C-alpha cells in the first residue's frame, strides 16, 4: 500500500466520468523497460555472433552481412522504444463512470473496451520492479467472460490504481453471472 502522501495532489475523483490519461511517468518507465529488453537481446545476439565467429569460422563477408543485419534490427528496436511509449501514451485513455470502466488504446489499431461494473469478478493491482521505482501500478480487471477474461490498464500511479480498484468493487449489483 502506498502512503497517502504519495498521491498526486491534483488527482481527480476516479468516477467523474471524464476521460483520463495515464500517469505521464509511464513513458519513461516503458522506455527504460524497452531499452533493458533491447540490451539483453543485444547481449544474446553479440554472444551468439561471437560463438559463431569463434567456432564456425564464417567468411568475413557473411559475418559482416549477418552482423549488420542484427545491428540494424537492434537500432530499430532502440528507436522503437524511444518513440513508441510516447505515441502509446497519447492514444491511451480511460474513464470510470458509475456504470462501467472504459479503456481506449492504440494508435493504428484502436480499441475501446468497456467493462460494466456489475460484471467485474475481481481486480488486481500489481507493481513490477520498474513500476515501483516510478511509483506506478497496473490494474488488472477480471471478468467471467471468454475473450476478455482479464483486461489490464497499466501506467496508473499506484495510488490511483488502488483508488479505481476500490471504486470498482465497492457496492455493485450481482446476479451470479
Q: Which residues bind another protein (CB under 8 A)?
A: 99-100, 108-116, 118-119, 143-148, 151, 173, 175-177
Q: How far is the CB of 34 from another protein (least distance, A)?
A: 24
Question: Most distant CA pair in the chain: distance in Å?
Answer: 70
Question: Rounded to an integer, what distance in angstroms lies between the CA atom of residue 8 and that of residue 10?
Answer: 5
C-alpha cell, 2: 502506498
Which residue's CB is nearer to another protein, number 9 or number 147?
147
Rounded CA-CA distance 91/73 in Å is: 26
CB of 172 to another protein, least distance (A): 9
Nearer to another protein, 8 or 116 (CB): 116
Closest CA to 71 of 91, 86, 51, 49: 49
Q: Which is nearer to another protein, 63 or 102 (CB)?
A: 102
* Least Å from the CB of residue 173 to another protein: 6
Amino acid at each position: 500500500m502506498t502512503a497517502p502522501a504519495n498521491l498526486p495532489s491534483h488527482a481527480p475523483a476516479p468516477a467523474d466520468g471524464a476521460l483520463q490519461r495515464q500517469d505521464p511517468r509511464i513513458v519513461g518507465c516503458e522506455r527504460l523497460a524497452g531499452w533493458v529488453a533491447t540490451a539483453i537481446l543485444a547481449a544474446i545476439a553479440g554472444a551468439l555472433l561471437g560463438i559463431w565467429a569463434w567456432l564456425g569460422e564464417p567468411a568475413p563477408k557473411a559475418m559482416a552481412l549477418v552482423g549488420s543485419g542484427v545491428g540494424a534490427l537492434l537500432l530499430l528496436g532502440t528507436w522503437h522504444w524511444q518513440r513508441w511509449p510516447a505515441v502509446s501514451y497519447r492514444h491511451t485513455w480511460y474513464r470510470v463512470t458509475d456504470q462501467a470502466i472504459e479503456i481506449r488504446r492504440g494508435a493504428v489499431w484502436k480499441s475501446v473496451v468497456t467493462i460494466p461494473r456489475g460484471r467485474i469478478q475481481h481486480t488486481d493491482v500489481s507493481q513490477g520492479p520498474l513500476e515501483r521505482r516510478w511509483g506506478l501500478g497496473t490494474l488488472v480487471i477480471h471478468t467471467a467472460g471468454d475473450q476478455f477474461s482479464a483486461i489490464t490498464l497499466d501506467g496508473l500511479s499506484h495510488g490511483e490504481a488502488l483508488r479505481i480498484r476500490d471504486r470498482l468493487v465497492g457496492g455493485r449489483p450481482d446476479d451470479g453471472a
